[in-house]
């Protein structure tokens, strides 16, 4: 497993091995906890990928559950506790925990496929667009706004440096919402055009004209990790963020994403579509400028 994999990915992978060893031994979670000398809640947190186990507990698992040499080596490697990247440390406590967990997952993802019906995806936002959006979130303090913007910009830098593929399908509404004003909107659209030229980024737009389509109920992202861990679907809702890992859920969202890709404009047609919107914005600005001059 890559030493650069995120803490969350490591814990998820470790939890799967621990669960496999327990089931192979034919034990309940309570019995497994008693066998290595921890309480049941500690075992459940470890098997659920919610906490990093002490190295002594990992060694007990290896010994008492007859882990193979390969399993033992991987468990010990996974139990290492990598520190947050330097840019994340000051932000802990100023961004929601679930958002922090998503950032951690994203840092280990080998590819991301995202769907956003009404917002430019975070990995493609300009700083001004990101700030204008963060300022509209209910209850956000100035410090929280700046933390969100910093996190978003640093996420982009880290993701770009890794060169992981990003496939973004975006609803046309995201291109028309006047987030931050006309100048910010125009800058953001230009950024999408620029990103669409990058070798690891694919952007498609679903125009209003297609009518009903496969996912009109909200945004989601499918994060893939290769052999490091199973994929995860991230769903952002007003009631809280969800991380879905069950095979049935993964299948549903993969099929939905395939439908979205098939419904959307091609990457080339998307570029033309965005270019036309930019030209319309510039045309209106020019006309408004002429009117203002005429009135002086």
In this prediction the pTM is 0.79
Q: Mean pLDDT for each 10-residue chunk of the chain (296 residues)?
A: 57 87 94 93 88 85 93 84 71 83 86 96 98 92 93 93 95 96 96 96 97 90 84 85 88 96 98 97 79 54
CB neighbours of residue 55 within 10 Å: 13
pLDDT of residue 49: 82
CB neighbours of residue 27 within 10 Å: 16
Is residue 226 a contact partner of residue 112, using CB atoms and an 8 Å limit?
A: no
Q: Which helix (H) or strand (E) holds 154?
A: helix 142-162
Closest CA to 217 of 180, 260, 247: 260
Q: Which helix (H) or strand (E) holds 268?
A: helix 267-295
pLDDT of residue 292: 53
**Which burial class, exposed, middle or buried, applies to 246 when counting CB atoms under 10 A from its CB (0-12, 13-18, 19+)?**
exposed
pLDDT of residue 296: 57
pLDDT of residue 123: 97
Give the CA dihedral 61, 64, 67, 68, nearest 10 degrees: 140
For residues 81 and 88, give the distance between their C-alpha atoms in angstroms, rounded to a whole number.
15
Q: How far out from the chain centre does Cα 253 lie?
A: 14
- Supply the angle between the helices 182-196 and 267-295 in degrees, to the nearest 10: 150
Closest CA to 221 of 105, 80, 130, 139: 105
Q: How far out from the chain centre does Cα 26 lie?
A: 36
Which single residue is written with the structure tokens 């309480």? 39
For residues 91 and 148, give the distance between their C-alpha atoms in angstroms, rounded to a whole number.
8
Write out pLDDT tens, residues 188-228: 999 999 999 999 999 999 999 999 998 988 899 999 988 76
């Amino acid at each position: 497993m890559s030493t650069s994999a995120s803490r969350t990915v490591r814990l998820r992978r470790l939890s799967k091995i621990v669960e496999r060893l327990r089931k192979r031994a034919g034990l309940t979670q309570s019995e497994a906890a008693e066998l290595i000398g921890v309480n049941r809640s500690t075992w459940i947190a470890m098997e659920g990928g919610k906490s990093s186990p002490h190295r002594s507990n990992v060694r007990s698992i290896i010994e008492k559950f007859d882990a193979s040499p390969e399993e033992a080596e991987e468990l010990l490697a996974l139990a290492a506790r990598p520190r947050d990247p330097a840019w994340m440390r000051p932000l802990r406590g100023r961004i929601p925990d679930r958002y922090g967990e998503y950032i951690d997952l994203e840092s280990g993802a080998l590819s991301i496929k995202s769907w956003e019906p009404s917002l430019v995806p975070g990995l493609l936002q300009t700083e001004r667009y990101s700030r204008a959006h963060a300022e509209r979130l209910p209850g956000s303090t100035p410090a929280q706004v700046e933390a969100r913007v910093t996190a978003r910009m640093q996420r982009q830098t880290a993701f770009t440096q890794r060169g992981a593929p990003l496939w973004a399908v975006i609803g046309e509404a995201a291109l028309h919402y006047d987030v931050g004003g006309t100048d910010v909107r125009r800058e953001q659209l230009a950024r999408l055009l620029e990103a669409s030229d990058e070798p690891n980024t694919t952007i498609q737009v679903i125009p209003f004209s297609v009518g009903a389509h496969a996912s009109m109920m909200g945004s989601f992202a499918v994060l893939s990790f290769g052999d490091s861990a199973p994929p995860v679907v991230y769903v952002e809702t007003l009631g809280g963020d969800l991380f879905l890992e069950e095979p049935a859920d993964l299948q549903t969202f993969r099929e939905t994403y395939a439908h979205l890709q098939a419904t959307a404009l091609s990457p080339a047609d998307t570029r033309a579509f965005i270019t036309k919107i930019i030209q319309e914005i510039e045309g209106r600005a020019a006309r408004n400028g002429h009117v203002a001059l005429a009135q002086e």
